[in-house]
Amino acid sequence: MSLWLERRQVPLYLLALGMAAVVGLLAPATAPVWEGAITSVLGALLTVTFLAVPFRALLVGVLRVLLTPCVDYVIVFTRLAGGASDRPLASSPLLMLLQILLLPILLARFLGADAASTIDPVPFVEAFLLLILVPLDLAALTQLLAERVVAVLRACRRGRRDADARRAARNGGLRARDPVACPFGMNAAGE
């Protein structure tokens, strides 16, 4: 029976969604009844799902979720609670790295040494590199470039009237009509 359901999982979900849409459109007054059933139905669906997974694998999965919670949840809930969400955000690369390093140790502690060997580190390292380090580096580079662009734009807007700016322009610093130094057609003289 479970194999039959598994093979037809997507069509069954689509059928259930379609039925829910029809009931919602034709009988909107029944919404409170269906709303009250959500928790029970989800519990039943999770029970059926868990029945299809061997207990050992299920236990490893539950421990993985509990031992390494999503850092982004911590950030969001800290912000929702009015806390300083910038702190967990700034420490998220370190937190994820600690999770990667500690998960095998914690699994071995709770389930025995062989449980840690079932974890493939490649997806964790790949996620850390592609979802933490690369975006972190891109953000740092973007901020650095933005600071420089803002400084150049401010200098161009001031019209470069002060003596130091004119001297810099003559000595090969910011030059008149230099598209990199003064974008948008502005020049070092402010024209």
Cα distance between residue 161 and residue 188, in whole Å: 8
Average pLDDT of every residue of the chain: 80
Cα distance between residue 168 and residue 189, in whole Å: 12
Q: pLDDT by residue (tens digit) across 93-123? A: 888 888 888 888 888 888 888 877 777 888 8
Question: Within the chain, how many helices (H) and strands (E) appear?
Answer: 10, 0
Cα distance between residue 121 and residue 127, in whole Å: 10
Between 163 and 1, whose confidence is greater?
A: 1
What pLDDT score does 146 carry?
87
Residue type, 59: L
Q: List, in order, residues 6 or more apart from 160 with CB less than 8 Å away.
A: 166, 169, 174, 188, 189, 190
- pLDDT band per the 50, 70, 90 thresholds, residue 191: very low
Cα distance between residue 18 and residue 20, in whole Å: 5
Q: pLDDT by residue (tens digit) across 18-66? A: 999 999 999 999 999 999 899 998 899 888 888 878 888 888 888 888 8
Say if CB 150 and CB 144 are below 8 A apart: no
Q: List, in order, residues 6 or more apart from 58 with CB less than 8 Å away.
A: 50
> Token pair of 15, please?
């059928």
